[in-house]
């Protein structure tokens, strides 16, 4: 069975501080990992996926297969980064997503 | 970008009645649509995957006779909650992917309250 774990329900940082939202997964094959973001009163939207290795809005995430982790990082948090962040996984040959429980990021001025 | 809409955004129904939720892809052809359920302060749980023109694939524990999914066209999928009960009250979210695009585009969700 596949599982995504986000251990922090809430992460509060000050503006300009580094941010790391943790995500660990369990999956027996080769998963594809994603980070989705949900801003207040908005729908879920894709932030980044590990295959593309992009940096979106200053966020990066590296897939560590040894530690089965896909932590989301940003060196300098901005107030507009305040949102709910979900880590998600799709299994080999499947597009359906398994979501973690989400972490609410609060960036204080 | 690709847009997915849901209708209604909020619905209240009485116990025992059925309610239909629509999910539409507005500017692309959605070969696959997904239905998720989200309880308050919890994550999204996949209910079913539907491919256009074929029967939906339900996740374990999801009653297919209770949650009827139809994906009759490349732009529309419907979820019908039959004989609704208060425990069916939840936030239902759909997403869609196109033929050549792996990314899932999410709808804004439908809040169902069963009284």
Give the pLDDT of residue B101.
67
User: CB-based contact (8 Å) between B32 and chain A?
Assistant: yes
What mean pLDDT comes out for the span B10-28? 95
| A43–B109 CB contact, under 8 Å | yes
| B43–A96 CB contact, under 8 Å | no
User: CB-based contact (8 Å) between A25 and chain B?
Assistant: no
Question: Mean pLDDT across chain A, nearest whole number?
Answer: 92
Question: Mean pLDDT across chain B, nearest whole number?
Answer: 92
Q: Which residues of A touch B95 (CB under 8 A)?
A: 44, 97
Give the pLDDT of residue A10.
97
Give the pLDDT of residue B102.
72
Strands A10-14 and A103-108, sheet pairing: parallel
Q: Which residues of B60-97 are buried (b: 16+ CB within 10 A; e: fewer)?
A: eebeeeebbbebeebbebbbebeebeeebbbbbbbbbb
Distance CA B51, CA A19 (A): 38
């Amino acid at each position: 069975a596949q599982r995504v774990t986000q251990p922090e329900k809430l992460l509060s940082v000050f503006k300009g501080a580094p941010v790391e939202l943790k995500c660990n997964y369990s999956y027996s094959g080769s998963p594809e990992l994603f980070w989705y973001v949900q801003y207040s009163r908005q729908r879920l939207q894709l932030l980044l996926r590990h295959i593309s290795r992009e940096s979106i809005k200053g966020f990066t995430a590296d897939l560590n297969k040894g530690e089965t982790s896909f932590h989301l990082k940003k060196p300098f948090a901005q107030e507009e980064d305040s949102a709910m962040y979900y880590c998600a996984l799709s299994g080999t040959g499947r597009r359906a997503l398994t979501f973690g429980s989400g972490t609410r990021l609060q960036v204080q001025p | 970008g690709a847009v997915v809409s849901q209708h209604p955004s909020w619905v209240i129904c009485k116990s025992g009645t059925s309610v239909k939720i629509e999910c539409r892809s507005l500017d692309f052809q959605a070969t696959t649509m997904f239905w998720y359920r989200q309880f308050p302060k919890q994550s999204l749980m996949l209910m079913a995957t539907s491919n256009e023109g074929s029967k939906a694939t339900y996740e374990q524990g999801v009653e297919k006779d209770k949650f009827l999914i139809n994906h009759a066209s490349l732009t529309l999928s419907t979820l019908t909650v039959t004989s609704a009960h208060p425990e069916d009250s939840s936030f239902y979210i759909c997403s869609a992917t196109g033929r050549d695009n792996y990314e899932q585009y999410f709808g804004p969700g439908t809040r169902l309250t069963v009284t």
